[in-house]
Chains A and B, each alone.
Chain A
Amino acid sequence: MTTIAASPPRARRSVAARTWAFVKRHALMVYALLVVAYLMLPIAVVILFSFNKPAGKFNYVWEEFTFDNWVNWNSVLGIQDAIITSLKVGLLATVVATALGTLMAMAIVRHHFVGRGATNVLVFLPMSTPEIVLGASLLTLFLNTSSIFQLGFITIFIAHVMFIVSFVVVTVKARLIGFDRHLEEAAMDLGANEATTFRKVTLPLIAPAMLAAALLGFALSIDDFVITYFNAGGTQTFPIFVWGIARVAVPPQVNVVASAIFIVAIAFALTNVFWEYRSAKRTRGAT
Protein backbone atom coordinates (compact mmCIF):
# COMPACT_ATOMS: atom_id res chain seq x y z
CA MET A 1 0.00 0.00 0.00
CA THR A 2 2.58 2.47 1.04
CA THR A 3 4.91 1.42 -1.73
CA ILE A 4 2.15 1.85 -4.32
CA ALA A 5 1.24 5.26 -2.98
CA ALA A 6 4.83 6.31 -2.86
CA SER A 7 5.81 5.14 -6.32
CA PRO A 8 4.21 7.82 -8.56
CA PRO A 9 5.94 10.77 -6.86
CA ARG A 10 9.20 8.85 -6.89
CA ALA A 11 8.80 8.26 -10.63
CA ARG A 12 8.09 11.93 -11.14
CA ARG A 13 11.07 12.87 -9.06
CA SER A 14 13.25 10.63 -11.13
CA VAL A 15 11.99 12.25 -14.31
CA ALA A 16 12.80 15.63 -12.82
CA ALA A 17 16.12 14.33 -11.63
CA ARG A 18 16.87 12.89 -15.03
CA THR A 19 15.94 16.20 -16.70
CA TRP A 20 18.17 18.01 -14.23
CA ALA A 21 21.01 15.62 -14.93
CA PHE A 22 20.53 16.19 -18.65
CA VAL A 23 20.52 19.96 -18.21
CA LYS A 24 23.66 19.76 -16.08
CA ARG A 25 25.47 17.55 -18.55
CA HIS A 26 24.42 19.69 -21.52
CA ALA A 27 24.38 23.03 -19.71
CA LEU A 28 26.15 24.82 -22.52
CA MET A 29 23.78 23.50 -25.17
CA VAL A 30 20.72 24.33 -23.09
CA TYR A 31 22.01 27.85 -22.53
CA ALA A 32 22.78 28.25 -26.24
CA LEU A 33 19.32 27.06 -27.24
CA LEU A 34 17.72 29.40 -24.71
CA VAL A 35 19.61 32.33 -26.22
CA VAL A 36 18.48 31.24 -29.68
CA ALA A 37 14.91 31.12 -28.40
CA TYR A 38 15.35 34.66 -27.04
CA LEU A 39 16.63 35.80 -30.44
CA MET A 40 13.71 34.19 -32.25
CA LEU A 41 10.97 35.33 -29.87
CA PRO A 42 10.36 38.83 -31.31
CA ILE A 43 10.52 37.44 -34.85
CA ALA A 44 7.85 34.89 -33.98
CA VAL A 45 5.78 37.67 -32.44
CA VAL A 46 6.07 39.84 -35.56
CA ILE A 47 4.94 36.99 -37.81
CA LEU A 48 2.23 35.82 -35.41
CA PHE A 49 0.71 39.28 -35.05
CA SER A 50 0.62 39.68 -38.82
CA PHE A 51 -2.23 37.14 -38.63
CA ASN A 52 -3.99 38.89 -35.77
CA LYS A 53 -7.33 40.59 -36.04
CA PRO A 54 -6.96 43.35 -33.46
CA ALA A 55 -10.07 44.37 -31.55
CA GLY A 56 -9.27 48.07 -31.43
CA LYS A 57 -6.59 50.00 -33.23
CA PHE A 58 -3.79 48.55 -31.10
CA ASN A 59 -2.25 45.32 -32.33
CA TYR A 60 -0.72 44.38 -28.95
CA VAL A 61 -3.04 41.63 -27.75
CA TRP A 62 -3.84 38.42 -29.59
CA GLU A 63 -7.52 38.29 -30.62
CA GLU A 64 -8.29 36.15 -33.61
CA PHE A 65 -6.55 34.46 -36.54
CA THR A 66 -7.08 35.99 -39.99
CA PHE A 67 -5.47 36.13 -43.42
CA ASP A 68 -7.06 39.52 -44.13
CA ASN A 69 -3.92 41.51 -43.33
CA TRP A 70 -1.90 39.54 -45.85
CA VAL A 71 -4.58 39.84 -48.53
CA ASN A 72 -5.11 43.56 -47.91
CA TRP A 73 -1.48 44.33 -47.11
CA ASN A 74 -1.63 47.67 -48.93
CA SER A 75 -4.92 48.87 -47.47
CA VAL A 76 -3.11 51.22 -45.10
CA LEU A 77 -2.60 54.62 -46.66
CA GLY A 78 1.02 55.27 -47.62
CA ILE A 79 2.43 51.82 -46.92
CA GLN A 80 2.72 50.78 -50.56
CA ASP A 81 4.44 54.00 -51.64
CA ALA A 82 6.83 53.70 -48.70
CA ILE A 83 7.85 50.19 -49.72
CA ILE A 84 8.33 51.18 -53.35
CA THR A 85 10.55 54.07 -52.23
CA SER A 86 12.52 51.73 -49.97
CA LEU A 87 13.08 49.24 -52.80
CA LYS A 88 14.09 51.97 -55.26
CA VAL A 89 16.54 53.58 -52.87
CA GLY A 90 17.88 50.18 -51.87
CA LEU A 91 18.51 49.03 -55.43
CA LEU A 92 20.03 52.29 -56.65
CA ALA A 93 22.20 52.87 -53.60
CA THR A 94 23.36 49.25 -53.61
CA VAL A 95 24.41 49.31 -57.24
CA VAL A 96 26.33 52.57 -56.87
CA ALA A 97 27.89 51.68 -53.52
CA THR A 98 28.94 48.22 -54.72
CA ALA A 99 30.66 49.73 -57.75
CA LEU A 100 32.45 52.43 -55.75
CA GLY A 101 33.35 50.09 -52.91
CA THR A 102 34.71 47.33 -55.14
CA LEU A 103 36.99 49.77 -56.96
CA MET A 104 38.24 51.11 -53.63
CA ALA A 105 38.85 47.62 -52.28
CA MET A 106 40.85 46.72 -55.38
CA ALA A 107 43.00 49.81 -55.03
CA ILE A 108 43.61 49.21 -51.32
CA VAL A 109 44.43 45.51 -51.53
CA ARG A 110 46.40 45.34 -54.75
CA HIS A 111 48.35 48.59 -54.88
CA HIS A 112 50.87 50.26 -52.70
CA PHE A 113 50.44 53.99 -52.93
CA VAL A 114 50.87 57.14 -50.90
CA GLY A 115 47.76 57.68 -48.78
CA ARG A 116 46.78 54.03 -48.43
CA GLY A 117 46.64 54.28 -44.66
CA ALA A 118 44.57 57.45 -44.84
CA THR A 119 42.16 55.75 -47.22
CA ASN A 120 41.74 52.87 -44.80
CA VAL A 121 40.92 55.34 -42.04
CA LEU A 122 38.45 57.16 -44.28
CA VAL A 123 36.66 53.87 -44.95
CA PHE A 124 36.70 52.86 -41.31
CA LEU A 125 35.44 56.18 -39.88
CA PRO A 126 31.83 56.13 -41.11
CA MET A 127 31.39 52.65 -39.64
CA SER A 128 32.62 53.77 -36.24
CA THR A 129 30.60 56.98 -36.11
CA PRO A 130 27.20 56.77 -34.42
CA GLU A 131 24.44 56.82 -37.00
CA ILE A 132 22.83 59.83 -35.40
CA VAL A 133 26.00 61.87 -36.02
CA LEU A 134 26.17 60.68 -39.64
CA GLY A 135 22.54 61.65 -40.16
CA ALA A 136 22.83 64.97 -38.37
CA SER A 137 26.01 66.05 -40.15
CA LEU A 138 24.59 65.23 -43.58
CA LEU A 139 21.49 67.20 -42.69
CA THR A 140 23.60 70.27 -41.88
CA LEU A 141 25.34 69.92 -45.25
CA PHE A 142 22.01 69.72 -47.07
CA LEU A 143 20.52 72.60 -45.10
CA ASN A 144 23.53 74.78 -45.85
CA THR A 145 23.45 73.93 -49.56
CA SER A 146 19.71 73.88 -50.02
CA SER A 147 20.06 75.50 -53.44
CA ILE A 148 21.71 72.30 -54.67
CA PHE A 149 20.14 69.60 -52.51
CA GLN A 150 16.45 69.46 -51.69
CA LEU A 151 15.64 66.92 -49.00
CA GLY A 152 13.89 63.93 -50.51
CA PHE A 153 14.64 60.87 -52.60
CA ILE A 154 18.00 62.15 -53.84
CA THR A 155 19.32 63.00 -50.37
CA ILE A 156 18.21 59.59 -49.03
CA PHE A 157 20.05 57.97 -51.92
CA ILE A 158 23.22 59.99 -51.26
CA ALA A 159 23.13 59.13 -47.56
CA HIS A 160 22.64 55.42 -48.21
CA VAL A 161 25.52 55.18 -50.67
CA MET A 162 27.70 56.98 -48.13
CA PHE A 163 27.13 54.51 -45.30
CA ILE A 164 27.00 51.36 -47.47
CA VAL A 165 30.31 51.99 -49.29
CA SER A 166 32.43 51.19 -46.23
CA PHE A 167 30.69 47.85 -45.71
CA VAL A 168 31.23 46.96 -49.38
CA VAL A 169 34.93 47.82 -49.15
CA VAL A 170 35.38 45.63 -46.07
CA THR A 171 33.50 42.68 -47.59
CA VAL A 172 35.25 42.74 -50.97
CA LYS A 173 38.64 43.40 -49.36
CA ALA A 174 38.36 40.23 -47.31
CA ARG A 175 37.85 38.23 -50.50
CA LEU A 176 40.60 39.96 -52.48
CA ILE A 177 43.20 39.30 -49.80
CA GLY A 178 42.86 35.56 -50.32
CA PHE A 179 42.95 35.97 -54.09
CA ASP A 180 45.58 34.09 -56.10
CA ARG A 181 47.25 36.69 -58.29
CA HIS A 182 49.05 34.02 -60.28
CA LEU A 183 45.80 33.35 -62.11
CA GLU A 184 45.91 36.86 -63.55
CA GLU A 185 49.58 36.60 -64.34
CA ALA A 186 48.89 33.31 -66.12
CA ALA A 187 46.14 34.95 -68.18
CA MET A 188 48.47 37.77 -69.15
CA ASP A 189 51.26 35.34 -69.98
CA LEU A 190 48.83 33.61 -72.28
CA GLY A 191 48.38 36.88 -74.14
CA ALA A 192 45.28 38.34 -72.57
CA ASN A 193 45.37 42.11 -72.24
CA GLU A 194 44.38 43.85 -69.00
CA ALA A 195 40.75 44.36 -69.96
CA THR A 196 40.29 40.74 -70.98
CA THR A 197 42.07 39.50 -67.87
CA PHE A 198 39.79 41.62 -65.72
CA ARG A 199 36.66 40.43 -67.51
CA LYS A 200 37.55 36.76 -67.79
CA VAL A 201 39.57 36.15 -64.61
CA THR A 202 39.30 38.87 -62.00
CA LEU A 203 35.59 39.64 -62.23
CA PRO A 204 34.34 36.03 -62.02
CA LEU A 205 36.56 35.46 -59.00
CA ILE A 206 35.40 38.50 -57.04
CA ALA A 207 31.78 38.31 -58.21
CA PRO A 208 30.66 36.26 -55.18
CA ALA A 209 32.17 38.86 -52.85
CA MET A 210 30.48 41.65 -54.79
CA LEU A 211 27.19 39.81 -54.58
CA ALA A 212 27.61 39.29 -50.84
CA ALA A 213 28.48 42.97 -50.42
CA ALA A 214 25.49 44.01 -52.52
CA LEU A 215 23.10 41.83 -50.49
CA LEU A 216 24.50 43.24 -47.26
CA GLY A 217 24.23 46.77 -48.64
CA PHE A 218 20.66 46.24 -49.75
CA ALA A 219 19.73 44.82 -46.35
CA LEU A 220 21.37 47.79 -44.60
CA SER A 221 19.62 50.25 -46.88
CA ILE A 222 16.16 48.79 -46.53
CA ASP A 223 16.51 48.63 -42.75
CA ASP A 224 18.03 52.03 -42.14
CA PHE A 225 16.00 54.40 -40.06
CA VAL A 226 18.21 56.91 -38.27
CA ILE A 227 20.23 58.36 -41.15
CA THR A 228 17.21 58.32 -43.45
CA TYR A 229 15.03 60.00 -40.84
CA PHE A 230 17.36 62.99 -40.74
CA ASN A 231 17.60 63.37 -44.50
CA ALA A 232 14.25 62.26 -45.87
CA GLY A 233 12.38 65.56 -45.86
CA GLY A 234 8.81 64.53 -46.61
CA THR A 235 9.71 61.33 -48.43
CA GLN A 236 8.79 58.10 -46.68
CA THR A 237 10.71 54.86 -46.75
CA PHE A 238 9.22 51.84 -45.00
CA PRO A 239 11.05 52.42 -41.67
CA ILE A 240 10.06 56.12 -41.74
CA PHE A 241 6.48 55.06 -42.36
CA VAL A 242 6.61 52.68 -39.39
CA TRP A 243 8.03 55.41 -37.15
CA GLY A 244 5.26 57.79 -38.13
CA ILE A 245 2.50 55.28 -37.60
CA ALA A 246 4.01 53.91 -34.37
CA ARG A 247 3.07 57.17 -32.68
CA VAL A 248 -0.58 56.41 -33.41
CA ALA A 249 -1.08 52.66 -33.63
CA VAL A 250 0.80 50.07 -35.62
CA PRO A 251 -1.57 48.24 -37.99
CA PRO A 252 -0.98 44.50 -38.59
CA GLN A 253 -0.09 45.33 -42.21
CA VAL A 254 3.25 46.61 -40.94
CA ASN A 255 3.85 43.12 -39.52
CA VAL A 256 2.85 41.65 -42.87
CA VAL A 257 5.44 43.68 -44.75
CA ALA A 258 8.14 43.05 -42.14
CA SER A 259 7.37 39.32 -42.24
CA ALA A 260 7.54 39.31 -46.03
CA ILE A 261 10.94 41.06 -45.99
CA PHE A 262 12.11 38.58 -43.37
CA ILE A 263 10.95 35.57 -45.37
CA VAL A 264 12.68 36.77 -48.55
CA ALA A 265 15.91 37.46 -46.67
CA ILE A 266 15.82 34.11 -44.90
CA ALA A 267 15.19 32.35 -48.19
CA PHE A 268 18.32 33.95 -49.64
CA ALA A 269 20.35 33.09 -46.56
CA LEU A 270 19.10 29.50 -46.38
CA THR A 271 19.96 28.98 -50.03
CA ASN A 272 23.43 30.21 -49.22
CA VAL A 273 23.76 27.97 -46.15
CA PHE A 274 22.59 24.98 -48.17
CA TRP A 275 24.95 25.86 -51.00
CA GLU A 276 27.96 26.10 -48.70
CA TYR A 277 26.98 22.90 -46.95
CA ARG A 278 26.83 21.08 -50.27
CA SER A 279 30.08 22.49 -51.63
CA ALA A 280 31.79 21.71 -48.31
CA LYS A 281 30.54 18.14 -48.61
CA ARG A 282 31.76 17.98 -52.18
CA THR A 283 35.26 19.23 -51.33
CA ARG A 284 35.39 16.80 -48.43
CA GLY A 285 34.43 14.03 -50.83
CA ALA A 286 37.07 15.13 -53.31
CA THR A 287 39.98 15.05 -50.87
Chain B
Amino acid sequence: MGTFFHRHRGATPYLLLAPGVLWLAIFFLIPLAFLGYESLQSGLFPSFEFTWQFSNFSDGIRDYHEQFIRSFVYAGIATAACLLLAYPLVYWIAFRAGPWRNLFLLFIVAPFFVTYLVRTIAWLNILADQGPVVSILRDLHILGPDGRLLATTFAVVSGITYNFFPFMALPIYVSLEQMDQRLLEAAKDLYASPTQAFIRVTLPLSAPGIVAGTLLTFIPAAGDFINAALLGTPNQAMIGNVIQSKFLESLDYPSAAALSFILMGLILVSLLVYARIVGSERLTG
Protein backbone atom coordinates (compact mmCIF):
# COMPACT_ATOMS: atom_id res chain seq x y z
CA MET B 1 0.00 0.00 0.00
CA GLY B 2 2.70 2.43 1.04
CA THR B 3 4.82 1.68 -1.96
CA PHE B 4 1.83 2.26 -4.19
CA PHE B 5 1.35 5.80 -2.95
CA HIS B 6 5.06 6.30 -3.03
CA ARG B 7 5.30 5.34 -6.65
CA HIS B 8 2.57 7.82 -7.53
CA ARG B 9 3.71 10.72 -5.46
CA GLY B 10 4.79 13.91 -7.20
CA ALA B 11 3.38 15.41 -10.35
CA THR B 12 0.98 12.60 -11.33
CA PRO B 13 -2.15 13.83 -9.54
CA TYR B 14 -1.66 17.35 -10.88
CA LEU B 15 -1.21 16.06 -14.41
CA LEU B 16 -4.40 14.02 -14.08
CA LEU B 17 -6.27 17.01 -12.72
CA ALA B 18 -4.93 19.67 -15.05
CA PRO B 19 -7.33 19.39 -18.01
CA GLY B 20 -10.50 19.16 -15.92
CA VAL B 21 -9.47 21.81 -13.44
CA LEU B 22 -8.44 24.18 -16.22
CA TRP B 23 -11.78 23.67 -17.94
CA LEU B 24 -13.70 24.41 -14.75
CA ALA B 25 -11.46 27.37 -13.94
CA ILE B 26 -11.81 28.97 -17.35
CA PHE B 27 -15.47 28.19 -17.96
CA PHE B 28 -16.86 28.25 -14.44
CA LEU B 29 -14.73 30.38 -12.08
CA ILE B 30 -13.59 33.08 -14.50
CA PRO B 31 -17.16 33.54 -15.83
CA LEU B 32 -18.31 34.11 -12.25
CA ALA B 33 -15.65 36.81 -11.97
CA PHE B 34 -16.90 38.34 -15.23
CA LEU B 35 -20.43 38.21 -13.88
CA GLY B 36 -19.23 40.10 -10.82
CA TYR B 37 -17.46 42.66 -13.00
CA GLU B 38 -20.59 43.02 -15.13
CA SER B 39 -22.80 43.51 -12.06
CA LEU B 40 -20.93 46.69 -11.10
CA GLN B 41 -21.20 48.35 -14.50
CA SER B 42 -23.56 51.07 -15.63
CA GLY B 43 -24.81 52.44 -18.90
CA LEU B 44 -27.02 51.24 -21.71
CA PHE B 45 -26.49 48.41 -24.19
CA PRO B 46 -24.02 48.09 -25.85
CA SER B 47 -21.79 50.61 -24.06
CA PHE B 48 -21.46 49.54 -20.43
CA GLU B 49 -18.77 51.00 -18.22
CA PHE B 50 -17.28 49.71 -14.99
CA THR B 51 -18.23 52.29 -12.37
CA TRP B 52 -18.52 50.31 -9.10
CA GLN B 53 -22.26 50.66 -9.55
CA PHE B 54 -23.37 49.07 -6.27
CA SER B 55 -26.82 50.52 -6.79
CA ASN B 56 -27.46 47.66 -9.23
CA PHE B 57 -27.74 45.45 -6.16
CA SER B 58 -29.91 47.73 -4.06
CA ASP B 59 -32.12 48.53 -7.06
CA GLY B 60 -32.41 44.83 -7.79
CA ILE B 61 -33.68 44.08 -4.32
CA ARG B 62 -35.98 47.10 -4.32
CA ASP B 63 -37.53 46.38 -7.70
CA TYR B 64 -37.71 42.62 -7.60
CA HIS B 65 -38.08 41.60 -3.96
CA GLU B 66 -41.52 40.27 -4.88
CA GLN B 67 -40.08 37.83 -7.43
CA PHE B 68 -37.31 36.82 -5.03
CA ILE B 69 -39.79 36.01 -2.27
CA ARG B 70 -42.03 34.18 -4.73
CA SER B 71 -39.11 32.07 -5.99
CA PHE B 72 -38.19 30.96 -2.50
CA VAL B 73 -41.79 30.34 -1.45
CA TYR B 74 -42.55 28.32 -4.60
CA ALA B 75 -39.30 26.37 -4.28
CA GLY B 76 -40.02 25.74 -0.60
CA ILE B 77 -43.55 24.47 -1.22
CA ALA B 78 -42.39 22.32 -4.13
CA THR B 79 -39.58 20.85 -2.03
CA ALA B 80 -42.01 19.98 0.76
CA ALA B 81 -44.43 18.45 -1.75
CA CYS B 82 -41.61 16.40 -3.27
CA LEU B 83 -40.69 15.10 0.18
CA LEU B 84 -44.28 14.12 0.98
CA LEU B 85 -44.67 12.33 -2.34
CA ALA B 86 -41.23 10.77 -2.47
CA TYR B 87 -40.64 9.46 1.04
CA PRO B 88 -43.48 6.90 1.22
CA LEU B 89 -42.77 5.82 -2.34
CA VAL B 90 -39.06 5.15 -1.87
CA TYR B 91 -39.74 3.62 1.56
CA TRP B 92 -42.06 1.16 -0.11
CA ILE B 93 -39.54 0.49 -2.89
CA ALA B 94 -36.66 -0.02 -0.47
CA PHE B 95 -38.47 -2.30 1.98
CA ARG B 96 -41.47 -3.82 0.25
CA ALA B 97 -40.91 -3.95 -3.51
CA GLY B 98 -38.59 -6.97 -3.38
CA PRO B 99 -37.30 -8.02 -6.78
CA TRP B 100 -39.19 -5.14 -8.45
CA ARG B 101 -36.98 -2.52 -6.80
CA ASN B 102 -34.92 -1.62 -9.85
CA LEU B 103 -37.98 -1.43 -12.04
CA PHE B 104 -39.63 1.02 -9.66
CA LEU B 105 -36.43 3.04 -9.46
CA LEU B 106 -36.65 3.26 -13.21
CA PHE B 107 -40.16 4.71 -12.82
CA ILE B 108 -38.66 7.44 -10.63
CA VAL B 109 -36.05 8.50 -13.17
CA ALA B 110 -38.27 7.95 -16.21
CA PRO B 111 -39.49 11.58 -16.28
CA PHE B 112 -35.87 12.62 -16.82
CA PHE B 113 -35.89 10.70 -20.08
CA VAL B 114 -38.51 13.05 -21.50
CA THR B 115 -37.07 16.41 -22.51
CA TYR B 116 -37.63 18.92 -19.68
CA LEU B 117 -39.58 21.37 -21.83
CA VAL B 118 -41.71 18.63 -23.38
CA ARG B 119 -42.71 17.13 -20.04
CA THR B 120 -43.61 20.59 -18.79
CA ILE B 121 -45.68 21.17 -21.90
CA ALA B 122 -47.41 17.85 -21.17
CA TRP B 123 -48.76 19.47 -18.01
CA LEU B 124 -50.27 22.10 -20.31
CA ASN B 125 -52.27 19.30 -21.92
CA ILE B 126 -53.26 17.79 -18.58
CA LEU B 127 -54.26 21.05 -16.91
CA ALA B 128 -55.74 22.66 -20.03
CA ASP B 129 -59.11 24.41 -19.66
CA GLN B 130 -60.72 21.92 -22.05
CA GLY B 131 -58.84 19.03 -20.46
CA PRO B 132 -60.28 16.22 -18.33
CA VAL B 133 -58.86 17.36 -14.98
CA VAL B 134 -60.45 20.79 -15.13
CA SER B 135 -63.82 19.44 -16.29
CA ILE B 136 -63.91 16.86 -13.47
CA LEU B 137 -63.02 19.50 -10.90
CA ARG B 138 -65.70 21.79 -12.32
CA ASP B 139 -68.30 19.01 -12.16
CA LEU B 140 -67.37 18.36 -8.55
CA HIS B 141 -67.69 22.12 -7.90
CA ILE B 142 -64.17 22.19 -6.55
CA LEU B 143 -63.49 24.70 -9.30
CA GLY B 144 -66.03 27.32 -10.29
CA PRO B 145 -67.58 27.17 -13.79
CA ASP B 146 -64.85 29.51 -15.05
CA GLY B 147 -62.20 28.15 -12.73
CA ARG B 148 -58.92 27.10 -14.27
CA LEU B 149 -55.75 25.39 -13.24
CA LEU B 150 -53.43 26.74 -15.90
CA ALA B 151 -51.91 30.15 -15.35
CA THR B 152 -52.22 29.75 -11.59
CA THR B 153 -49.73 29.41 -8.75
CA PHE B 154 -50.90 25.83 -8.36
CA ALA B 155 -49.86 25.00 -11.92
CA VAL B 156 -46.41 26.52 -11.51
CA VAL B 157 -45.71 24.87 -8.15
CA SER B 158 -46.93 21.48 -9.32
CA GLY B 159 -44.80 21.81 -12.45
CA ILE B 160 -41.73 22.48 -10.31
CA THR B 161 -42.65 19.61 -8.00
CA TYR B 162 -42.93 17.20 -10.90
CA ASN B 163 -39.75 18.32 -12.63
CA PHE B 164 -37.46 18.05 -9.61
CA PHE B 165 -39.07 15.02 -7.95
CA PRO B 166 -36.27 12.52 -8.80
CA PHE B 167 -33.69 14.77 -7.12
CA MET B 168 -35.60 14.28 -3.87
CA ALA B 169 -36.47 10.61 -4.29
CA LEU B 170 -33.09 9.16 -5.25
CA PRO B 171 -30.96 10.37 -2.29
CA ILE B 172 -33.65 9.26 0.18
CA TYR B 173 -33.78 5.87 -1.51
CA VAL B 174 -30.01 5.50 -1.25
CA SER B 175 -30.04 6.30 2.47
CA LEU B 176 -32.91 3.87 3.15
CA GLU B 177 -31.35 1.15 1.05
CA GLN B 178 -28.10 1.33 3.02
CA MET B 179 -29.97 0.94 6.28
CA ASP B 180 -29.19 -2.15 8.34
CA GLN B 181 -32.51 -4.03 8.62
CA ARG B 182 -31.35 -5.65 11.86
CA LEU B 183 -31.72 -2.29 13.58
CA LEU B 184 -35.47 -2.48 13.03
CA GLU B 185 -35.55 -6.01 14.44
CA ALA B 186 -33.59 -4.78 17.44
CA ALA B 187 -36.11 -1.98 17.93
CA LYS B 188 -38.93 -4.52 17.77
CA ASP B 189 -37.20 -6.77 20.28
CA LEU B 190 -36.98 -3.79 22.58
CA TYR B 191 -40.79 -3.43 22.34
CA ALA B 192 -40.89 -0.45 19.99
CA SER B 193 -44.16 -0.18 18.10
CA PRO B 194 -43.80 0.11 14.29
CA THR B 195 -44.47 3.85 14.57
CA GLN B 196 -41.86 4.28 17.27
CA ALA B 197 -39.36 2.23 15.33
CA PHE B 198 -39.97 4.41 12.30
CA ILE B 199 -39.60 7.69 14.19
CA ARG B 200 -36.64 6.61 16.32
CA VAL B 201 -34.71 4.44 13.83
CA THR B 202 -35.72 4.72 10.18
CA LEU B 203 -36.33 8.45 10.01
CA PRO B 204 -33.04 9.51 11.67
CA LEU B 205 -31.09 7.08 9.51
CA SER B 206 -32.66 8.45 6.34
CA ALA B 207 -32.03 12.05 7.41
CA PRO B 208 -28.86 12.43 5.29
CA GLY B 209 -30.93 11.44 2.24
CA ILE B 210 -33.65 13.92 3.14
CA VAL B 211 -31.07 16.68 3.59
CA ALA B 212 -29.36 15.92 0.28
CA GLY B 213 -32.69 15.62 -1.51
CA THR B 214 -33.92 18.91 -0.08
CA LEU B 215 -30.82 20.73 -1.33
CA LEU B 216 -30.85 19.07 -4.74
CA THR B 217 -34.52 20.01 -5.17
CA PHE B 218 -34.55 23.46 -3.61
CA ILE B 219 -31.50 24.97 -5.33
CA PRO B 220 -32.54 24.35 -8.95
CA ALA B 221 -36.19 25.07 -8.09
CA ALA B 222 -35.34 28.53 -6.74
CA GLY B 223 -33.58 29.46 -9.98
CA ASP B 224 -36.13 27.90 -12.32
CA PHE B 225 -38.00 29.97 -14.86
CA ILE B 226 -39.41 27.40 -17.28
CA ASN B 227 -42.39 26.34 -15.19
CA ALA B 228 -43.41 29.92 -14.48
CA ALA B 229 -42.97 30.82 -18.15
CA LEU B 230 -44.94 27.89 -19.55
CA LEU B 231 -47.55 27.18 -16.87
CA GLY B 232 -47.95 30.60 -15.26
CA THR B 233 -48.50 34.26 -16.10
CA PRO B 234 -46.38 37.31 -15.24
CA ASN B 235 -48.20 37.18 -11.89
CA GLN B 236 -46.31 33.99 -11.15
CA ALA B 237 -42.97 35.29 -12.47
CA MET B 238 -40.00 34.05 -10.48
CA ILE B 239 -36.58 35.68 -10.24
CA GLY B 240 -35.29 33.35 -12.95
CA ASN B 241 -37.80 34.87 -15.37
CA VAL B 242 -36.51 38.36 -14.56
CA ILE B 243 -32.85 37.39 -14.97
CA GLN B 244 -33.58 35.57 -18.20
CA SER B 245 -35.50 38.41 -19.78
CA LYS B 246 -32.97 41.04 -18.69
CA PHE B 247 -30.10 39.02 -20.10
CA LEU B 248 -31.67 37.89 -23.34
CA GLU B 249 -34.49 40.31 -24.10
CA SER B 250 -33.91 43.77 -22.63
CA LEU B 251 -30.09 43.30 -22.69
CA ASP B 252 -29.69 44.97 -19.31
CA TYR B 253 -26.61 42.97 -18.39
CA PRO B 254 -25.47 44.81 -15.25
CA SER B 255 -28.83 44.55 -13.56
CA ALA B 256 -29.22 40.89 -14.64
CA ALA B 257 -25.76 40.07 -13.32
CA ALA B 258 -26.50 41.78 -10.00
CA LEU B 259 -29.75 39.82 -9.67
CA SER B 260 -27.87 36.57 -10.38
CA PHE B 261 -25.47 37.34 -7.55
CA ILE B 262 -28.28 38.22 -5.18
CA LEU B 263 -29.93 34.89 -6.05
CA MET B 264 -26.71 33.01 -5.34
CA GLY B 265 -26.22 34.93 -2.11
CA LEU B 266 -29.76 34.21 -0.93
CA ILE B 267 -29.37 30.52 -1.75
CA LEU B 268 -26.11 30.49 0.19
CA VAL B 269 -27.78 32.17 3.16
CA SER B 270 -30.65 29.69 3.13
CA LEU B 271 -28.11 26.84 2.96
CA LEU B 272 -26.37 28.24 6.03
CA VAL B 273 -29.64 28.60 7.90
CA TYR B 274 -30.58 25.07 6.88
CA ALA B 275 -27.15 23.84 8.02
CA ARG B 276 -27.71 25.45 11.40
CA ILE B 277 -31.04 23.68 11.72
CA VAL B 278 -30.02 20.20 10.62
CA GLY B 279 -26.41 20.31 11.80
CA SER B 280 -23.57 21.13 9.47
CA GLU B 281 -21.95 17.68 9.52
CA ARG B 282 -24.99 16.34 7.68
CA LEU B 283 -24.63 18.87 4.88
CA THR B 284 -21.08 17.97 4.03
CA GLY B 285 -21.91 14.29 4.39
User: Which residues on A are within 8 Å of B, measured CB to CB?
Assistant: 28-29, 31-32, 35-36, 38-43, 45-46, 49, 59-61, 99-101, 103-104, 106-108, 110-113, 116, 119, 122-123, 125-126, 128-134, 136-141, 143-144, 158-159, 161-162, 165-166, 169, 181, 184-185, 219, 222-223, 225-226, 229-230, 238-239, 242-243, 246, 250, 254-255, 258, 261-262, 265-266, 269-270, 273, 276-277
Contacts and interface: CB of A to CB of B under 8 A. Distances in A.
Contacts, number: 234
Main secondary structure of the interface of B (DSSP, over half): helix
B32 A112 contact: no
Contacts of A111: 5, 8-9, 12-13, 16
A256 to B, nearest CB: 10
How many chain B residues sit at the interface, stated as a range, is: 35 or more
Contact of B17 (A107, A238, A239, A250): A107
A193 B37 CA distance: 50
A101 B24 CA distance: 11
B113 A261 contact: yes
B203 interface: no
A59 B25 CA distance: 44
A163 to B, nearest CB: 8
Contacts of B37: 140, 144
Contact of B226 (A126, A165, A226): A226
28 contacts: A29-B96, A32-B92, A36-B107, A40-B110, A42-B114, A43-B122, A103-B20, A104-B17, A108-B17, A112-B5, A122-B25, A123-B24, A126-B24, A132-B225, A132-B244, A133-B263, A136-B260, A137-B34, A140-B257, A141-B34, A161-B23, A166-B24, A223-B115, A223-B116, A225-B117, A229-B248, A238-B115, A262-B113
B121 A128 contact: no
A185 to B, nearest CB: 6
A258 B58 CA distance: 43
A67 B223 CA distance: 39
Contact of B28 (A125, A184, A277): A125
Contact of B116 (A28, A181, A239, A250): A239
B264 A130 contact: yes
Q: Which of A42, A116, A243, A276 has the most CB of B within 10 A?
A: A42
Interface in B79-106: 85-86, 88-89, 91-93, 96, 99, 102-104, 106
A134 B220 CA distance: 11
A262 B85 contact: no
Nearest to B18: A103
Nearest to B123: A42
Contact of A230 (B25, B113, B248): B248
Contacts of B257: 136, 140
Contact of A122 (B16, B21, B30, B119): B21
A87 to B, nearest CB: 13
Contacts of A46: 114, 118-119, 122
B43 interface: no
Contacts of B99: 277
A104 B27 contact: no
B27 A159 contact: yes
Interface string B160-176: 00100100000000000
A246 B117 contact: yes
A223 B114 CA distance: 8
Contacts of B34: 137, 140-141, 144
A255 B182 CA distance: 47
B230 to A, nearest CB: 7
A108 B25 CA distance: 17
Contact of A42 (B19, B20, B119): B119
B60 interface: no
B128 interface: yes
Contacts of B31: 137-138, 140-141
Given A39-B111, A122-B24, A265-B113, 17 more contacts: A29-B96, A31-B89, A32-B88, A39-B162, A40-B107, A42-B111, A46-B118, A46-B122, A60-B128, A104-B17, A130-B222, A132-B260, A136-B243, A158-B27, A162-B27, A230-B247, A242-B117
